[in-house]
């Protein structure tokens, strides 16, 4: 069987002479700044969780280049169906840290009004960023359904379906690739093979020689790429997006990267990650590699680094202060956003809940009258 070669752009010294990445110097810096913002967001969320101020977070360290490289290939009119480790996709396209932090606290300005866990972001502006799903793989058929709708409407938008290596074991993975292949749906499947599905290594996830090879079963192209090489991920994704937009159907991209931290703030990776393996991947850190590329290009300077780091830290720190001080959702939000006209049985339940809250002295209960 012919093996699929992995695409790389950056050389051993992290230069990319002659590579046509299609980005201006400002856009390259924007990509780098997005990765630094992800790291700042991770750092503060870890401190917030450990101090009991939020309940949960998902570390992104090690996979930022994959997120940002892929997201840079999409237009703001395209639809992104992300995994829960894709903070950089939202940040690159201009989602403010405070909007993400509102979700971390589940407050009244959270787009989901506290109905989702932290890290389950969703945005309609400035990017079409669909709600992250906790169940693994369930968003993949949804992405294909949206792509099929584009076909029916004659629209030229493209969907991204991003997921981890563990997601390839879900029923949604099979269903999504099967339908997308048959329909030639304009969707790009990005498998971020980060080495671990919580504590299960890739060797325990599949007997295939790669995840990219699985594309053959569905009659679509499969591509492997160095997931810590932002420019390589961008190139592979740009080519897949161009195919999809031209009506040539989906592509499965396997980005080989590494999660250099826990699965979540509830996880202790030292219990199962070999130290020598982590050390090997530390040397491939995507942020450091991209910084050295910018330095080769004459774009990076110590002054730029200092400014970008400080801006990232300041933005996220301020976002946390604002979100923490924002009031929690009102009691009525338990019942809102479901029916245009509130059914009588829910109205009665709502009134009972407000009466109970008022008797217990809950300030959020207002005057005791159910407001819907």
Task: Render pLDDT for 169-219 as a digit per residue (tens, 0 to 9).
Answer: 999 999 999 999 999 999 999 999 999 999 999 999 999 999 999 999 999
pLDDT tens digits along 7-44: 999 999 999 999 999 999 999 999 999 999 999 999 99
The rounded distance, in Å, linking the Cα atoms of 269 and 332 is 40
Q: Is the pLDDT of residue 371 over 60?
A: no
CA dihedral 200, 202, 208, 211 (to 10 degrees): 120
The rounded distance, in Å, linking the Cα atoms of 292 and 287 is 9
What pLDDT was estimated at residue 367?
53
pLDDT tens digits along 231-247: 999 999 999 999 999 99
Collapsing DSSP states into helix, strand and coil, what is residue 289?
A: helix
Q: Which of 56-60, 250-254, 336-340 is predicted with the least confidence, judged by mean pLDDT?
A: 336-340
Range list of H helices, 184-268:
230-245
Q: Is the pLDDT of residue 365 over 90?
A: no
What pLDDT was estimated at residue 330?
87
Polymer length of the chain: 372
For residue 281, count other CB atoms closer than 10 A to its CB: 18
pLDDT tens digits along 80-112: 999 999 999 999 999 999 999 999 999 999 999
b/e sequence 290-299, b meaning 16+ C-beta within 10 Å: bbebbbbeee
Q: Which helix (H) or strand (E) holds 348?
A: helix 344-359
The rounded distance, in Å, linking the Cα atoms of 291 and 233 is 16
Q: Predicted confidence band at 149 (pLDDT cuts at 50, 70, 90)? A: very high
Spatial CB neighbours of 115, under 8 Å, sequence gap ≥ 6: 106, 333
Task: Measure CA 66 to chain center.
Answer: 10
Q: What average pLDDT does range 312-321 have in this prediction?
A: 98
Collapsing DSSP states into helix, strand and coil, what is residue 215?
A: helix
Active-site annotation, residues: 259, 263, 272
Domain spans in the chain, listed from the N-terminal domain onward = 6-325, 331-365
What pLDDT was estimated at residue 363?
55
Beta strand 187-193 with 222-226 is unpaired
Q: What average pLDDT does range 303-318 have in this prediction?
A: 98
Cα–Cα–Cα angle for 255, 169, 92, rounded to 5 degrees: 35
Question: Percentage of the chain surpassing pLDDT 90?
Answer: 88
What pLDDT was estimated at residue 271?
95
What pLDDT was estimated at residue 360?
80
Mean pLDDT score of the chain, rounded to an integer? 94
Spatial CB neighbours of 139, under 8 Å, sequence gap ≥ 6: 81, 82, 83, 130, 132, 133, 161, 163, 172
Q: Is the pLDDT of residue 366 over 60?
A: no
What pLDDT was estimated at residue 133?
87
Collapsing DSSP states into helix, strand and coil, what is residue 101?
A: helix
pTM score, two decimals? 0.94
Q: 336 burial class (0-12, 13-18, 19+ CB within 10 angstroms)?
A: middle
Q: Is the pLDDT of residue 336 over 90?
A: no
What pLDDT was estimated at residue 99?
98
For residue 115, count other CB atoms closer than 10 A to its CB: 13
What pLDDT was estimated at residue 364?
62
Q: Predicted confidence band at 3 (pLDDT cuts at 50, 70, 90)? A: confident
Q: Predicted confidence band at 337 (pLDDT cuts at 50, 70, 90)? A: confident
Q: Which listed CATH number (2.170.190.11, 3.80.30.20, 3.40.50.11030, 3.40.50.970) goes with 6-325? A: 3.40.50.970
- 134 or 303, which is more confident: 303
């Amino acid at each position: 069987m012919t093996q699929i070669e992995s695409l790389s752009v950056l050389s051993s010294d992290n230069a990319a002479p002659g590579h046509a990445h299609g980005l201006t110097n400002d856009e390259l810096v924007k990509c780098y700044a997005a990765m630094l913002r992800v790291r700042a967001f991770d750092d503060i969320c870890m401190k917030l969780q450990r101090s009991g101020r939020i309940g949960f977070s998902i570390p992104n360290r090690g996979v930022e280049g994959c997120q940002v490289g892929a997201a840079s290939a999409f237009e703001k009119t395209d639809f992104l169906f992300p995994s829960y480790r894709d903070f950089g996709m939202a940040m690159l396209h201009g989602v403010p840290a405070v909007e993400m932090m509102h979700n971390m606290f589940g407050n009244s300005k959270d787009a989901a009004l506290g109905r989702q866990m932290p890290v389950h972001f969703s945005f309609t502006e400035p990017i079409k960023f669909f709600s992250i799903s906790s169940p693994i793989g369930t968003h993949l058929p949804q992405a294909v359904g949206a792509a099929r709708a584009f076909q029916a409407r004659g629209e030229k938008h493209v969907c991204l379906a991003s997921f981890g290596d563990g997601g390839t074991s879900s029923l949604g993975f099979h269903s999504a690739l099967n339908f997308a292949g048959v329909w030639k749906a304009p969707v790009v499947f990005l498998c971020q093979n980060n080495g671990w599905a919580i504590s299960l290594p890739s060797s325990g996830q599949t007997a295939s020689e790669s995840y990219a090879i699985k594309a053959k079963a569905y009659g679509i192209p499969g591509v492997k790429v160095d997931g810590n090489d932002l420019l390589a991920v961008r190139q592979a994704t740009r080519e897949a997006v161009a195919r999809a937009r031209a009506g040539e159907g989906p592509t499965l991209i396997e980005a080989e990267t590494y999660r250099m931290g826990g699965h979540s703030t509830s996880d202790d990776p030292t219990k199962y990650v070999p130290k020598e393996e982590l050390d090997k991947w530390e040397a491939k850190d995507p942020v450091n590699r991209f910084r050295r590329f910018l330095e080769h290009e004459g774009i990076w300077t110590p002054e730029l680094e200092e400014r970008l780091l400080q801006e990232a830290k300041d933005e996220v720190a301020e976002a946390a202060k604002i979100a923490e001080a924002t009031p929690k959702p009102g009691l009525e939000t338990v019942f809102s956003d479901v029916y245009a006209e509130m059914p009588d049985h829910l109205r009665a339940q709502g009134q009972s809940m407000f009466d109970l809250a008022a008797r217990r002295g809950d300030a959020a209960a207002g005057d005791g009258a159910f407001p819907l």
